[in-house]
Amino acid sequence: MTSMTSPLDRRRHLTGLAFITPTMLVIIAILVYPILQSIVLSFGQSSIDGTAPYQFVGLKHYAALADNERFWNALWVTLIFTGLSIPLELAMGIGLAVLMNEHFRFKGIARLAVLFPWALPTALNTLMWRWMYNTDYGLFNAAALQSGLVDRPINWLGDETLAMGSMVVVAVWKTSSFMALIILAGLQSIPRDLYEAGRMDGMTRWQEFREITLPLLKGPILVALIVRSMDALRTFELPFNLTDGGPVTATESLSLYAYKVIFDFIEFNYGAAIVVVQFLVIFAMSLLYILTLRNKD
Amino acid sequence: MTKRPRFGLYALVILSVVISFLPIIWLILTSLKTTEGIYAWPPQYLPDPFTLKNYIHIFTNSPELLLYVLNSFIVALGCTVVALSFGGMAGYALSRLGMRRAGVLMVFILAVSMFPPVSLLPSLFQNFLHLGLLNTYTGLIIAHTGLFLPFTVWMLASYFATLPPEIEEAARMDGMGFFRIFWSIVIPLSWPGFVATGLIVFIFSWNEFPLALVLMTQNAMRTAPVGISLYPGEYAFPWETISTATVIAIIPVLIITAIFQKQIVGGLTAGAGK
């Protein structure tokens, strides 16, 4: 503990407080208070415009959720989507990172190509893919029909399994680049002489990768995995723009369902209960993230 | 380095580049086709005839699509300026002013940054409605600032930590106050950090969807991703207009990314590695 006697220390302390106050006020107003308010709303009955007074109803909304098949479906869809897309993104990300770590010409263009899918708005990326998936006029069916691979157009977004697969493809396309960038930064911090030593021992390329590269990439990979999992668990505009959750509810994520409950069905408090459940799932993930980082140091 | 076969390497690089660009290229090609060309069978891979009609049409008949881009620009720029100002001060306080429990505060800021935006929606919508902040630039700028301030604080705090402390100590010997030191010494020394952070925050805000969807309910106030997504009528999707509007909306981000790719990549990997 330092004592606060010297005037300089006091000035420093006051400046610190003054400097951090605007940030704390915005974070509390936009992130902390709304979450607490959502929790309060989920235990009550009120109206979105505040005309009806708040009435406490206890666990009523949560009990209703437990019996709501569409809620369980949304939770399941979100978990399946996350479980399918993350391993694929990781594999693609590692592959891209290893590729980008090689020396070749026109690397600038290649790096830009890897960065673009990440940099563009997911909502608009999704529209581009929806256009390529289009049953009657899309690129995929045009190419498949013309080359004779199929004799009838494939309904990419109209079949339950295909729609989920199509959504996973868009997510993997968009976010493998993010994985790749983080893993690439890790790759570049691996000392070169480790590989030279490996080569002396007559290691093959694959052995090098498995025995030197992968173990040293554990940290960055873990970070990338957790950040991306949290992202995937809250996916919203991807199903919103690709399928609107369809066919029926085959691609309806938890975020999308919560949005519909609040703003389409105007069941404000019920929707709050859904977002609180989602918050808890993601918050558990973020605690895991922070604990992992702590252990890494 | 020993020579290894290069053919496979180049084939893989070209494949990745093609896959990355394919949706964007197909979209640009679509925007340059006539309506008949878009819906033709056999399909047109290249525009035939090539036309700028869709672009002219947007500038003359659908000014609201340009308005969306303008809205996005105002919100992203506002959010970037506010986030850099507030986040710069907070980052400086946390990394350099010897605050007690600075580490705990940093973890707190990291933890709240992981809140899912959709879980903020019911209360943010209600509060903004009461405060008259729905459908205002101020409202969405504040909301985006809240979402992206944690990232800004982390990025800038770690940048300040790399500056040699001797310069600030010397300035203090000369009797400069903390605010003057921050303003006239630390900020000029840290501009690469501010540029990288600012570019990423700008892209984050430009791309943000759920809050922009819910807090801007009037058509004239929508940002580009939301406005274009909601543009089509109930049943038919006018792809010639959508593709053209999307090309216009992604051009600013494409240019920023192309020019500043080094800074963006550096910032992203530093931020995520923390």
Inter-helix orientation angle B191-207/B137-160, to 10°:
140
The answer to whether the beta carbons of residues B34 and B51 sit under 8 Å apart is yes
Chain B positions in Cβ-Cβ contact with residue A137 (cut-off 8 Å) = 38-39, 43, 239
Helix, strand, coil in percent for chain B, rounding step 5: 75, 0, 25
Q: Which of residues 59-118 of B touch A (CB under 8 A)?
A: 85-87, 89-90, 92-94, 97-99, 105, 107, 109-118
Stretch A59-81: mean pLDDT, rounded?
94
State yes or no: pLDDT of A115 exceeds 80: yes
Q: Which residue of A has its CA nearest to B127?
A: A34
Q: Which residue of A has its CA nearest to B45?
A: A139
CA distance A229 to chain B (A): 11
Calpha distance A123→B143 (Å, rounded): 19
Interface ipTM = 0.89
pLDDT per residue over B73-107, tens digit each? Answer: 999 999 999 999 999 999 999 998 878 888 889 88
Whether B258 has its CB under 8 Å from any CB of chain A: the answer is: yes
The answer to whether the beta carbons of residues B95 and B182 sit under 8 Å apart is no
pLDDT per residue over B145-177, tens digit each? Answer: 999 999 999 999 989 988 888 888 888 888 888
Helix, strand, coil in percent for chain A, rounding step 5: 75, 0, 25
- CA distances A247 to A155, A239, B85, B133, B234, Å, are 11, 11, 46, 36, 17
Q: Which of B119, B147, B205, B235 to mutate to test the interface with A (most CBs of A within 10 A)?
A: B119
Q: Which two tokens stand for residue B191?
A: 């501009």
State yes or no: pLDDT of B273 exceeds 50: no
Chain A positions in Cβ-Cβ contact with residue B2 (cut-off 8 Å) = 199
Lowest mean pLDDT among A88-92, A205-209, B221-225: A205-209
Stretch A216-232: mean pLDDT, rounded?
84
Calpha distance B80→B98 (Å, rounded): 26
Calpha distance A34→A48 (Å, rounded): 14
The answer to whether the beta carbons of residues A61 and A276 sit under 8 Å apart is no
Q: Which residue of A has its CA nearest to B157?
A: A20
Closest CB to A27: pick one of B109, B116, B253: B109
CA distance A70 to chain B (A): 18
Contact criterion met (CB < 8 Å) for B207 and A272: no
Quickly list DSSP for A109-137. Answer: HHHHHHHHHHHS-HHHHHHHHHHHH-TTT
Lowest mean pLDDT among A233-237, B100-104, B106-110, B232-236: B232-236
- CA distances B211 to A84, B77, B123, B127, B214, Å, are 27, 16, 12, 13, 5
Closest CB to A31: pick one of B6, B90, B146: B146
Q: Which of A8, A25, A31 to mutate to test the interface with B (most CBs of B within 10 A)?
A: A31
Burial class (CB in 10 A: 0-12, 13-18, 19+), B73: middle
Q: pLDDT value at position A257?
A: 95
Instruction: Find, among B178, B172, B106, B87, the residue nearest to A13 by Cα.
Output: B178
Calpha distance B175→A30 (Å, rounded): 38
